[in-house]
Amino acid sequence: MPIYTYGMSHTSAPLEVRERIAFPPDGLDLAVGRLVATGPVREGLILSTCNRTELVVHARSGAADSLKTFLLGERQTAAKELDRHCVLRTDGDAVRHLFRVASSLDSMILGEAQILGQVKEAYAAAVRGRGIGTILDALLQRSFAVAKKVRTETGVARYPVSIAHAAVSLARDIFGELRDRVVLIVGAGKMARLAARHLIASGVRTVVVVNRSHQRGADLAQELGGGTAPWERLFEEMGKADIVIASTAAPHAVIGHDEVLRVSRTRRGKPLFFIDIAVPRDVDPRVNAIENVYLYDVDDLQGVVRANQEERRHEAATAETIVLRETAAYLEWLRSLDVAPLITDLKAHFRNVGVQEMARFRSRLGPLTPEQEGRVEEMTEALVNKFLHHPIQALKRAAANGGGETLSFLREAFGLPESDRRDPADRGRQPRNDPDESPGSVERTAAEPGAGAAGTDPGAPDDPQ
Amino acid sequence: MDWSLLLFRVALLLYTLAFVNTLIPMLSGRRRTVRLTPWLAAAGAGAHTGALVALGIALDRCPIGTLPEVLSVLAWTAILLYLVIVWRYRIEVLHAIILPLVLVVLFVSDLLPGQVVPVAAPLQPWLRPLHLFVIILGVAALFITFAASLLYVIVDRALKAKRPARFVLGLPSLDRCESVGRTSLFWAYLLLTLGIITGAIFSASLYGHFWAWKPQESLAILSWIILGVVVAARLGWGWRGRKVAILTIVGFAAVFLRMLGI
């Protein structure tokens, strides 16, 4: 039975469509309940963020239409709109897609950290809505593990990609630890406030605001928990500062080359870092040429951000191979599940034959002691196990290689009925640990894993010995 | 079988591997393999220790009798210092500078003739080893100073050029370069000063005069003066930054030349 993902994301639909289709967080569990109540769906999860709304389900083959019907019934939308913007993925593609989403490889900002939390929330809601069974539970647990692996083993999330973060990261390149650094804010603009906030969040404790209008400067200083100084003392304060954030509304540079040169002479080579986020610029660009003074304007910061985005994209290639490997391992586990009920059925079948034949021949054996009777039963059991040992090993191998046809052939050969029904008691199980017992690296996409046999209990007895 | 030579070759091989290992990520832009470098260097230091011990046993004396031996001990000390700093301060790129230096020293020591310098029986037999010991420790500390100063210049350039490469190459912050450079310079200068004093006393006890204006002595005193200026600027007047880093590099170059050409 296949796994599907169905829905839209920022790559397939514009915001005005996404916002209408999104599920509100309240009542998401109830929506999941309605989702798994639709005919072919066995397990389901709804991932709905501002950038995507996607259904992840484990369902009978051909469930695609009912997913569309479900969305049509739930949200204010038209069938035509869904056809245009929704993407349906099956099995290998679906698994890989979910892993990519959780690892933030499909995010608008590559490597952003929020999406994993959102997937976890969707999972929690789906557990409450009793939409999670063995298959999706394993899938989601594994997606969390993949996301963690991608974060720690690749640089996808390492390089800062916003201007404010880039500025903080540069400050760290220069000063290392920021705790004891002094930040001087020149001007009280919105951008200055934002950058200062980031620096304070990174440990800076001393902030001084210098502004032409004393009142606005004082307001900002109070907001940031810092002090103020009059405009006339700008360069005096600069001599004591480590980081200068400039964002005045002045139409020309207010911090000139010669003044900074004079200031820098009093500093004995102590580095001074200018973050000029004003447009037009506040700091004379020649300041960057002064020894031990580093000047970054908006364009420079943008350049750093661009370079970092490039690095993230570069790292994403490594992340994609991790995702591919994990997808293959999950699919292999999934296929091994298909074979479990067949093995159970086979063993039951052979055991039944043994028991029936025993019953027929029992009278011919004459009186037996209870001990002898036990031995005969043991022998029957042993024969069944011996007969089935090699076929079961071969079956497991065939399952691992996606041999759905072998499975259905065997059912036919031994006259075993197709058992498509899953135990409903599976639904709403508690989260399990990583289900994968033998993480292989079989690089193949899924065949229809169903072939009729879709029991889902990985704990089914499958070893004859 | 000459154990010391065998172990020495093993150490050389491991150091070389460690250095090659630092080059791979620099060329390919990936960072992960570098983690192996300190371990390779540590393994090399292990083999090197074995080589020195074996040599000491074979010669039945402290293995700092000849210039190659002194250089070998110097390389060994520098590697140990580097390992301490990598584990203590997490400046991993240090190996990209220290390892080639160590390799140069070792190859030079391998090329030089290994005769024991004939020394008349000195009055105080402990004076020469003491002199060499403090000099070696001082120069090894100066290796670290040099590496930190060079890193300072590199990071400064990257920042000025608006191409901060800290993440890609795992470079330390300017501040970290500065503090490691300052601390190691302080110790290096202290030890080298002690080394020159003991050397002069040794010379006096041997030849009857403290100072003979031989070229090696002149170069030694010149590099000591250059370093003295740097130390005064950095520790006395609190100077720091790029110019001081460059001056430090010049001072180190003088000491390094003096050392290889004793």
ipTM attached to this prediction: 0.82
Is B31 in Cβ contact with A155 (below 8 Å)?
yes
Higher-pLDDT residue of A457 and A365 is A365
pLDDT greater than 70 at residue A437: no
User: Residues A52-65: what's their mean pLDDT?
Assistant: 90
Burial class (CB in 10 A: 0-12, 13-18, 19+), A150: buried
The one catalytic residue in A15, A37, A50, A289 is A50
Query: Cβ–Cβ of A304/B162 closer than 8 Å?
Result: yes
State the sign of the Cα–Cα–Cα–Cα dihedral A441, A447, A450, A453: negative
Of the partner residues B162, B172, B173, the one whose CB lies closest to the CB of residue A303: B162
The DSSP code sequence of A440-452 is -----PPP---TT
A271 and B237 in contact by Cβ < 8 A? no
In this predicted structure, what is the pLDDT of residue A38?
86
Query: Which pLDDT score is estimated for B122?
Result: 55
Phi, psi for B15 (deg, rounded to 5): -60, -40
pLDDT of residue A449: 38
Of B176, B237, B242, the CB nearest to A292: B242
A419 vs A423 pLDDT, higher one: A419
Please name the residue of chain A whose CA is at the shortest distance from the CA of residue B30. Answer: A315
> A206-210 and A243-246: which strand pairing?
unpaired
Q: Which residue has the tokens 């390799």?
A: B103
DSSP helix/strand/coil, A41: strand
Residue A188 is which amino acid?
A: A
Q: Exposed, middle or buried by CB within 10 Å (0-12, 13-18, 19+), for A32? A: buried
pLDDT of residue A324 exceeding 70, the answer is yes
Note the pLDDT of residue A436: 40
**What is chain A's length?**
465
Q: In chain B, which residues have their Cβ closer than 8 Å to the Cβ of A291?
A: 241-243
pLDDT in tens, A196-207: 888 999 999 899
pLDDT band at A181 (very low <50, low <70, confident <90, very high): very high
Q: Both tokens of residue A374?
A: 């036990």
Give the pLDDT band (50/70/90) at residue A456: very low
Mean pLDDT confidence for A423-436: 41
CA dihedral A156, A159, A162, A163 (to 10 degrees): -160
pLDDT band at A323 (very low <50, low <70, confident <90, very high): very high
Q: Report whether pLDDT(A256) > 90.
A: yes
Asked if A265 has any chain B CB less than 8 Å from its own CB, the reply is no
Smallest Cβ–Cβ distance between B173 and the set A173, A303, A308 belongs to A173
The predicted model gives A375-394 an average pLDDT of: 85
Whether residue B164 is preceded by a cis peptide bond, meaning omega within 30 degrees of 0, is no
- For residue A242, the SS3 value is coil
- pLDDT of amino acid A245: 94
Greater pLDDT, B142 or A340? B142
Is A86 labeled as catalytic in the residue annotation? no
CA of A174 to nearest chain B CA: how many angstroms apart? Answer: 5
- Whether A413 shows a pLDDT value over 50: the answer reads yes
pTM of structure: 0.72
> What is the predicted pLDDT for the residue at A118?
93
Closest Cα in chain B, distance from residue A288 (Å): 7
Give A283's pLDDT tier (boundaries 50, 70, 90): very high
Percent of chain A with pLDDT over 70: 88
Q: At CA B34, angle to CA B32 and CA B38, rounded to 5?
A: 140
Calculate mean pLDDT across residues A86-107. Answer: 94
Average pLDDT on A60-66 reads 86
Asked if B252 and B224 count as a contact pair (C-beta separation under 8 A), the reply is no
Judged by CB atoms closer than 8 Å, whether chains meet at A314 and B176 is answered as no
Q: Quick one: which of B241, B160, B155, B166 has its CA closest to A287? A: B160
- Position A272 pLDDT exceeds 80: yes
Place of tokens 């190659």: B68
For all residues of chain A together, what is the average pLDDT?
84
Q: Using CB atoms, which residue from A155, A271, A296 is nearest to B162?
A: A296
Q: Calculate what percentage of chain A has a pLDDT beyond 90.
A: 43
Name the pLDDT band for A349 (thresholds 50, 70, 90): confident
Asked if A300's CB is within 8 angstroms of B168's CB, the reply is no
A155 contact residues in B (CB cutoff 8 A): 31, 167
Task: DSSP letter for A422, please.
Answer: P
pLDDT at B62: 77
Query: Which of A292, A296, A310 would best serve as a mutation to test chain B binding (most B beta carbons within 10 A)?
Result: A292
Q: Which residues of chain B have pLDDT under 50?
A: none
* Closest among B129, B116, B138 to B185, alpha carbons compared: B138
Reported as a single tens digit per residue, the pLDDT across A25-39 is 898 999 999 999 988
pLDDT tens digits, A114-139: 899 999 999 999 999 999 998 999 99
Arithmetic mean of pLDDT, A236-253: 92
pLDDT at residue A455 tops 80: no
Higher-pLDDT residue of A439, A15: A15
Is the model's pLDDT at A402 over the cut of 80? Answer: no
